[in-house]
Amino acid sequence: MLIRLRTAIERGETSCSELVRQYLARIEETRHLNAYVEVYAEEALNRAAELDEKFKREPSAAGPLFGAVVSIKDVICHEGHEVTAGSRILQGFRSLYSATAVERLLKADAIIIGRVNCDEFAMGSTNESSFHGPARNGEDPSKVPGGSSGGSAVAVQTDTCLVSIGSDTGGSVRQPAAFCGVTGFKPTYGRISRYGLLAYASSFDQIGLIAREVSDIAAVLQVIAGPDDFDATALPEAPDIKLEPEQQAGRMRIACFDKALHHPGMNPDIRQLTLQFIEQLKGEGHVVENVEFDYLDYLIPTYYVLTTAEASSNLSRYDGIRFGYRAGDATNIRETYTKSRTAGFGTEVKRRILLGTFVLSAGYYDAYYAKAQQMRRLIRDRTRDILHQYDFILMPASPLPPWKIGEVVNDPVAMYLADIFTVQANLSGCPAIAFPIGRDGDGMPVGIQLMADLLQESKLLSFSQQFAGKC
Ligand code: GLN
């Protein structure tokens, strides 16, 4: 899409200003979906006018993302702009610096049109834990858009931006993309600097991208990925993201887990569409084989023990002193901490802080945290082992279609279990993509997920582009 937009701008058929005006009008039309928590209308228009001016003066000076209008999830710092992680505890907090991803976007001439809704501290699968209220699925506003990057998925679904920058700790760009019928991509852990991304679980967190077209994901990824002195976990490899059409013709070897597809918790429509997709792949000459993966039932417990442990540590900094919200009625420092955190955090975040503190506490550390670390190693090794024999692992993005707002939110375990297919990529650090393959009996989008070995983004994106955006 970006390439088409740039051509249209070059021919004088549109301009950055015109694009921003169109997106702003769409944002107004879709306000009821609560995708945006803040719209930078004036700022985006001014920047678009500047970029148009620059382009007129010197067309060759246009950056690689000239013409790209993006939204950013409310967990990514943008200097001088509010960032709340969907939480009351950060209400009113303004970023003192920009995330590396944001700096690189701006340097490449992208325009940031607004900040989009998400679950509180990116913890959730529905966007319902946001302090700003739930975002709604544009396909059916009574249903959730998925989460935690629900606002990002709806923003792309409703054509209010070209690409949305989200974050993915256990599926947060892939699952909402699947729920909203768009494409969500999580790169290899460390591909994109986490500097300026508010931490949930640092050894899992990765900035991810949602768009309609794979080519737009590739263009943005190429710009924002790469080493960064401000993040020691950012990989040293410079990104070389190439979409190669010849890859499309290549025969791929794809692994799938029959046990997962025939799991009793699997929605029958999703199973059916997945099986059809597998048949389609076979018909095109690809090899799709069932492989044994003994750790399916361990994915969710391992993920939730480790991420809550990391979250309990990461969120200890929100004490009512240094950032955002502070309880007004405290008389001493201890009370300030307690009252600010009690009123500032929502139920799900508190649940995870308690769980995380528990699994790290003396007497339980070995039984839970240390065990989960060992399990993570086994999961990662087996996953990579499979990915040395196969090009991709194929799974549904979610075992369930989007549910009604309010339907599952009071059953956290049911919600956690629905993350079964997405967390493996974060536990192993591997890149993964979700794209739509059809609709269920209620007309809601259904997504498939492909996972590749570390640093295999180009292969994964090249292969996916023939399917993504076509449904
Ligand atoms: N749904 C998962 C969770 O609640 C994933 C969230 C995420 O990727 N940020 O932890």
Note the pLDDT tens digit of each residue in 240-269.
Answer: 998 987 556 689 999 999 999 998 889 999
Q: Pocket around ligand 1: residues whose beta carbon is below 6 Å from it?
A: 122-125, 148, 167-172, 200, 307, 419
User: 169 alpha carbon to ligand 1 midpoint, in Å?
Assistant: 6
pLDDT at 448: 97
Name the active-site residue from 172, 215, 312, 340.
172
- Which among 152, 306, 411, 419 is the best mutation to test ligand 1's pocket, defined by most ligand atoms within 8 Å of the CB? 419
Out of 73, 118, 120, 125, give the residue to mutate to test ligand 1, the one with the largest number of ligand atoms within 8 Å of its CB: 125
Full strand arrangement of the beta sheet holding 163-167: 36-39, 111-116, 69-73, 163-167, 207-211, 183-186, 432-439, 445-451, 392-396, 253-256, 287-290
By DSSP bridging, strand 392-396 and strand 253-256 are: parallel
The confidence score (pLDDT) of residue 286 equals 96
Q: What is the pLDDT of residues 54-73, one digit of tens each?
A: 999 999 999 999 999 999 99
Q: How much distance in Å is there from the Cα of 424 to the middle of ligand 1?
A: 12
Per-residue confidence (pLDDT) for residue 97, from 0 to 100: 98
pLDDT number for residue 324: 86
Distances from the Cα of 361 to the Cαs of 136, 310, 318, 354, in angstroms?
A: 38, 13, 20, 10
70 neighbors 216 (Cβ within 8 angstroms): no
**Residues 117 and 74: beta-carbon distance below 8 Å:** yes
Q: What pLDDT, on a 0 to 100 scale, did the predictor assign at position 168?
A: 98
Q: Give yes or no for a contact between 83 and 74, defined as CB atoms under 8 angstroms apart.
A: yes
Query: How many CB atoms are closer than 10 A to CB 417?
Result: 17
The atom number, within ligand 1, closest to the CA of 426 reads 8
Expressed in angstroms and rounded, the spacing between residue 197 Cα and the centre of ligand 1 is 15
Catalytic residue among 15, 17, 71, 73: 73
Expressed in angstroms and rounded, the spacing between residue 124 Cα and the centre of ligand 1 is: 5
To the query of whether residue 172 is one of the catalytic residues in this protein, the response is: yes
The Cα 167–Cα 324 span in angstroms is 22
pLDDT at 263 (0 to 100): 85
Label the pairing between strands 183-186 and 207-211: antiparallel
Please give the pLDDT value at position 429: 98
Query: Rounded to the nearest whole angstrom, what is the distance from the C-alpha of residue 170 to the centroid of ligand 1?
Result: 5
Those residues whose C-beta lies under 8 Å from the C-beta of residue 295, and which sit 6 or more positions away, are 375, 378, 379, 382
Atom of ligand 1 nearest to the CA of 200: 9
Q: Which of 76, 119, 205 to mutate to test the pocket of ligand 1 (most atoms within 8 A of CB)?
A: 119
Q: How many CB atoms lie within 10 A of CB 126?
A: 30
Q: What pLDDT does 265 receive?
A: 86
22 vs 49, 150, 439, CA distance in Å? 14, 22, 28
pLDDT at 247: 54
Residue owning the nearest CA to atom 4 of ligand 1? 124
Cα dihedral angle (113, 118, 122, 125), rounded to 10 degrees? -140
378, 292, 432, 470: CA torsion to nearest 10: -170
Active-site entry in 15, 87, 148, 215: 148
From ligand 1's centre to the CA of 357, what distance in Å? 18
The four Cα atoms 145, 151, 157, 159 give a dihedral, to 10 degrees, of 160
Going by C-alpha positions, the residue among 366, 354, 367, 372 that lies closest to residue 303 is 372
Positions in the chain short of pLDDT 70: 246-249, 469-471
Three-state SS for 13?
coil
- Tell me the pTM: 0.97
- Return d(Cα 87, Cα 74) in angstroms, integer: 10
Q: Pick from 111, 127, 126, 131: which is nearest to 50 by CA?
A: 111
Q: Is 73 a catalytic residue?
A: yes
Q: What integer pLDDT is reported at residue 244 of this predicted model? A: 81
| The predicted structure's pLDDT at residue 206 | 98
Q: Are 147 and 176 in contact, with CB atoms under 8 Å apart?
A: yes
What's the pLDDT score for residue 469?
Answer: 67
